[in-house]
Amino acid sequence: MPSQPVDLDQLFAPRSVAVVGASTNVDSPGHDYVRSLKEFGFPGPVYPINPKADEIAGYKAYPSLSAVPGEVDLVISCVPAPAVPALVEECAGGKARFLHLFTARFSETGDEEDAALEARVMAAAARAGVRILGPNGMGVYHPAGHVAFRPDLPQQQGSVAFLSQSGNNAVEVVIRGNARGLHYGKVANYGNGQDLTPAVLLDYLGHDPDTTVIGAYVEGVPDGQAFFRALRKAAAQKPVIIHKAGRTSAGARSAASHTAALAGAAEIWSAAIRQAGALEARSQEQLLDLIIGASLMPLPKGRRIAVVGGGGGRSVQSADACEENGMSVLPLPDPLRDQVRERAPKLADWVGNPVDQSILAGSGLSSNGLLQMMIDSGHYDLAIANVGEDWFFGRPDAESRLRHACERLTSIVQASPLPVAVVLGATENRVPWQRELVDSVRDAFIDAGVAVYPTPERAAFALGRLVTLNA
């Protein structure tokens, strides 16, 4: 790898895009890529390439890439694998800078002829001076660049970058992350990743000033040393979270048939990720939990955690989760206990950390009030606030009480210099008004930029790992 990263600015924000194998069939990828550009308001020229069509999704169609006027920054290929060598020749001589091969059925099928075709395509592209993203990948999603690999993806612009070997995993991470408050910057699904390898992409994102947090899903990398060199450099600049899959023999076998990846030993990967200063996720859920923590909250400056909310069981469970994830659940400091004594003498020697909300009833103290006092005490580095929504459902004025508590909590989180993770459950209710209420307050938290986790264990996992970035 050169010491300067490969310039991928025009891959993520091309000035012009051609879609080869563009289709009038609305249920085909060859249509989706064209329509995505329309939906995302791509401002430059869009060239659907289809010799049998006049226009596709409102854009004038061209019979071949050669027939397109001038140069093209990004060519997206939806043609079958055997047609790719001729396309590469058309891209040569400066006609195209980047060729994204959505086209699949290369080395990942395990068939020798398919693998040989891939090798020929890569060699030809190198000679032609065109860089290849893919094959067997969905390509680029970058809302600020007005490009996307599916027309229905969220259009909010952000600074969370994500690399994914798998296309469906990229779609899931985008949709599910967005629903939890992530706004994405540069996202690439690189598939077999033979030319623009994960190392090349990661190196670019590490240097990219528009990227604040990087996530990556890898099954295997063709250039391990370059990858870990890029990872170390990137992790020194910003939080990087790596979800390494294909850890087991069955997972590795599946990875080979998916993207022809050689997965490698799990323990070696874990150690190398840790040594590079990045965080490891072992599931998509952990990946998202960590990215959300890194991008929606300030990084914690220490391990001393304040925990509030929910009843006694929730308190005990939260305390276990925090300590099992390496944080210290310190008792209330004496000055804070004295403050409690002034307002609720009977509680002063009983209330602890975690704050059990159920013992506060009638005291004039609330879980939110204690959270604010704990943040102000200077005694803690980070916090978890359990909403405890199930308790509210049993009260006559559940909706107004829950909304009020969540609004106050939002204000506290937004003003807090410490990271505060909010815990509110997922779809775990069959009473329509209760489900809608929880969805509604969760959406409100997320719209306010609050990091929400469905369980205290998941909040504690994310916070506990983020602590290590500053350790």
Instruction: Rule CB under 8 A: choose which of 50, 315, 367, 368 binds its own copies.
Output: 315
Please state, in angstroms and rounded to a whole number, the distance separating the CA atoms of residues 303 and 281: 20
Please state, in angstroms and rounded to a whole number, the distance separating the CA atoms of residues 330 and 355: 11
Please state, in angstroms and rounded to a whole number, the distance separating the CA atoms of residues 23 and 53: 8
Segment contacting its own copies by CB under 8 A, of 77-85, 335-343, 344-352, 408-416: 344-352
Instruction: Rule CB under 8 A: choose which of 229, 270, 393, 407 binds its own copies.
Output: 393
107 near its own copies, rule: CB under 8 A: no
Please state, in angstroms and rounded to a whole number, the distance separating the CA atoms of residues 90 and 77: 12
468 near its own copies, rule: CB under 8 A: no
Instruction: Tell me which residues in 55-94 interact with its own copies (CB under 8 A).
Output: none
Instruction: Tell me which residues in 195-224 interact with its own copies (CB under 8 A).
Output: 217, 219
Asked if 71 contacts 64 with a C-beta cutoff of 8 angstroms, the reply is no
Segment contacting its own copies by CB under 8 A, of 224-232, 333-341, 377-385, 395-403: 395-403
Smallest distance, its own copies to C-beta of residue 350, A: 5
Please state, in angstroms and rounded to a whole number, the distance separating the CA atoms of residues 58 and 70: 21
169 near its own copies, rule: CB under 8 A: yes
Smallest distance, its own copies to C-beta of residue 1, A: 25
Instruction: Rule CB under 8 A: choose which of 2, 209, 394, 417 binds its own copies.
Output: 394
119 near its own copies, rule: CB under 8 A: no
Please state, in angstroms and rounded to a whole number, the distance separating the CA atoms of residues 284 and 312: 30
395 near its own copies, rule: CB under 8 A: yes
Please state, in angstroms and rounded to a whole number, the distance separating the CA atoms of residues 375 and 272: 36
Two tokens at 394?
């049993």
22 near its own copies, rule: CB under 8 A: no
433 near its own copies, rule: CB under 8 A: no
455 near its own copies, rule: CB under 8 A: yes
316 near its own copies, rule: CB under 8 A: yes
Please state, in angstroms and rounded to a whole number, the distance separating the CA atoms of residues 145 and 150: 14
Smallest distance, its own copies to C-beta of residue 358, A: 6
Segment contacting its own copies by CB under 8 A, of 37-45, 68-76, 388-396, 414-422: 388-396
Q: Kindly tell me which of 259 and 339 has the beta carbon lying closer to its own copies.
A: 259
Q: Helix (H, G, I), strand (E, B), or coil: what is residue 55?
A: strand
Instruction: Tell me which residues in 219-278 interact with its own copies (CB under 8 A).
Output: 219, 245-251, 253-255, 257-259
HSE of 35, CA atoms in CB hemisphere, 13 A: 15
Residue among 298, 254, 337 at smallest CA distance from 421: 298
Smallest distance, its own copies to C-beta of residue 466, A: 19
430 near its own copies, rule: CB under 8 A: yes
Q: Kindly tell me which of 277 and 425 has the beta carbon lying closer to its own copies.
A: 425
Q: Helix (H, G, I), strand (E, B), or coil: what is residue 383?
A: strand
Please state, in angstroms and rounded to a whole number, the distance separating the CA atoms of residues 191 and 466: 29
324 near its own copies, rule: CB under 8 A: yes
DSSP secondary structure of 72-122: EEEEEE-S-GGGHHHHHHHHTTTTEEEEEE----SGGG--HHHHHHHHHHH
Instruction: Tell me which residues in 123-142 interact with its own copies (CB under 8 A).
Output: none
Smallest distance, its own copies to C-beta of residue 312, A: 3
Q: Kindly tell me which of 54 and 397 has the beta carbon lying closer to its own copies.
A: 397
Smallest distance, its own copies to C-beta of residue 413, A: 20
What is the per-residue burial (b if ≥16 Cβ within 10 Å, else e) of 425-442?
beeebeeeebeebbeebb
110 near its own copies, rule: CB under 8 A: yes
Q: Kindly tell me which of 100 and 314 has the beta carbon lying closer to its own copies.
A: 314
Q: Kindly tell me which of 60 and 401 has the beta carbon lying closer to its own copies.
A: 401
Two tokens at 303?
């391990």
Please state, in angstroms and rounded to a whole number, the distance separating the CA atoms of residues 331 and 320: 14
Asked if 226 contacts 276 with a C-beta cutoff of 8 angstroms, the reply is no
Please state, in angstroms and rounded to a whole number, the distance separating the CA atoms of residues 68 and 76: 14
333 near its own copies, rule: CB under 8 A: no
Q: Kindly tell me which of 19 and 88 has the beta carbon lying closer to its own copies.
A: 19
Q: How many residues bind its own copies (CB under 8 A)?
A: 91
44 near its own copies, rule: CB under 8 A: no
Smallest distance, its own copies to C-beta of residue 95, A: 30
